[in-house]
């Protein structure tokens, strides 16, 4: 998941430099440890053989030549056995690694045959975003998306619902330009998105995943997320929009408080809103959220929804939702079933015309459920 965010936010160059620096810091101790692990047993074995040779020399000099010759033969056999064991161990290790080497070779061939498509045109502000007869297949001939066509405009909030395995995640990855349609097109302002620079796309399209990931660092580092061009003022503005600024200021060091996956016990709602602030820090034109409230309590969900209500007039907001309460801010909802766009309309109209949406609503009302009703409906 972290790799997905790094690609979406265009943070790869800074992230690589950070990882390279960390690697340099641990390289010398690691090499020293490896040297000692290999050198100590070899040194011990060499000393043992040296002592054995000295003992044989002493026996030979004392006149007991037959014993010395026998000892020399034993020494040669022991040494040969040691070399044989090393060869056997190397062959066994090579045999264990062979499947992984084949898999790596296939991966390299795949990436060489499918270079990342990038355009040269600068990307203006995104006013319209959609797809035109888009198909996608992970395996040739087995489409998971079939002829998806729609268009959404800035200032709209668009919901995406559908049963598990319907193709929602594939649709989102295409919208993020992490994948390219097998056929058809992703269109922005009426033009094929492949013609625009990916660097511009990463600045204008932002993302909050279903399982938000924090990095080890300060709160400001987590919001900035390897984008040094984002200054402290933008970090604070994003935190205010995500309704998490006041809580940050209540922490011991404010924006300099060190957090991370296991460093600081912050709540799921705070984690989600920090990642929302991360997505807002670059002032995107399009904001895509995958299950933004699926793991939140009622209070945290209300805080996130309040944030989304505040920002939706300035961006094109796309929400993949399981909770119907999340769709309350949506102007239109897309229903994806079996990789096809079954319907796209206002929630009230879908309630009257779409069986899947109506079933989900009835399950929620009948059972009093607010979490993952689409999963229940898909059973």
Asked whether 223 and 274 are in contact (CB, 8 A), the reply is yes
List the chain residues with pLDDT less than 50. 369-379
Asked whether 320 and 340 are in contact (CB, 8 A), the reply is no
Please choose, from the candidates 360, 229, 211, 179, the residue with its C-alpha nearest in 3D space to the C-alpha of residue 291.
Answer: 211
Please choose, from the candidates 158, 165, 179, 271, the residue with its C-alpha nearest in 3D space to the C-alpha of residue 223.
Answer: 271
As beta bridge partners, residue 316 has 286
User: How many helices and strands, by DSSP H and E, does the chain display?
Assistant: 13, 12
pLDDT digits (tens, 9 = 90+) for 148-207: 999 999 999 999 999 888 999 999 999 999 999 999 999 999 999 999 999 999 999 999
DSSP per-residue codes, 142-185: EEEEEEEEEEEETT-EEEEE--TTSSHHHHHHHHTTSS--SEEE
pLDDT of residue 29: 83
CB-side exposure of 153: number of CA atoms within 13 Å?
1
pLDDT of residue 65: 62
pLDDT of residue 371: 45
pLDDT of residue 369: 46
pLDDT of residue 189: 95
pLDDT digits (tens, 9 = 90+) for 245-268: 999 999 989 999 998 866 566 887
d(CA 231, CA 229): 6
d(CA 166, CA 232): 41
E strand or H helix at 129, and its extent? strand 128-139
């Amino acid at each position: 998941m972290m790799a997905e965010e790094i690609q979406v936010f265009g943070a790869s160059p800074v992230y690589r430099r950070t990882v390279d620096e960390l690697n340099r810091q641990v390289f010398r101790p690691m090499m020293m440890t490896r040297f000692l692990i290999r050198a100590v047993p070899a040194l011990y074995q060499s000393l043992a053989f040296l002592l054995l040779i000295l003992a044989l020399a002493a026996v030979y000099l004392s006149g007991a030549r037959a014993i010395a010759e026998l000892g020399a033969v034993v020494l040669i056999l022991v040494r040969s056995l040691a070399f044989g064991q090393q060869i056997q161990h190397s062959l066994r290790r090579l045999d264990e690694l062979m499947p992984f080497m084949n898999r790596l070779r296939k991966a390299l061939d795949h990436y060489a045959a499918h270079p990342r498509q990038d355009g040269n045109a600068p990307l203006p502000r995104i006013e319209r975003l959609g797809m035109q007869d888009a198909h996608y297949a992970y395996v040739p001939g087995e489409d998971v998306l079939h002829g998806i066509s729609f268009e959404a405009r800035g200032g709209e909030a668009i919901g995406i619902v559908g049963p598990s395995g319907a193709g929602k995640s594939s649709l989102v990855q295409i919208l993020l330009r992490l994948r390219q349609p097998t056929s058809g097109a992703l269109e922005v302002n009426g033009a094929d998105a492949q013609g625009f620079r990916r660097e511009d796309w990463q600045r204008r399209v932002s993302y909050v995943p279903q399982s938000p990931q924090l990095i080890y660092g300060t709160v400001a580092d987590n919001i900035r997320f390897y984008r040094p061009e984002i200054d402290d003022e933008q970090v604070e503005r994003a935190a205010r929009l995500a309704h998490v600024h006041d809580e940050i200021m209540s922490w011991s060091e404010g924006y300099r408080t060190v957090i991370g996956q296991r460093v600081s016990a912050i709540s799921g709602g705070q984690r989600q809103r920090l990642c929302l602030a991360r997505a807002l820090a670059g002032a995107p034109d399009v904001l895509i959220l995958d299950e933004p409230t699926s793991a939140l309590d009622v209070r945290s969900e209300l805080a996130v929804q309040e944030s989304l209500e505040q920002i939706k007039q300035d961006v094109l907001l796309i929400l993949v939702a399981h909770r119907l309460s999340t769709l309350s801010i949506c102007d239109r909802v897309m229903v994806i079933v079996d990789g096809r766009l079954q319907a796209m309309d206002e929630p009230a109209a879908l309630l009257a015309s779409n069986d899947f949406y109506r079933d989900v609503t009835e399950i929620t009302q009948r059972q009093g459920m607010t979490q993952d009703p689409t999963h229940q409906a898909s059973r």
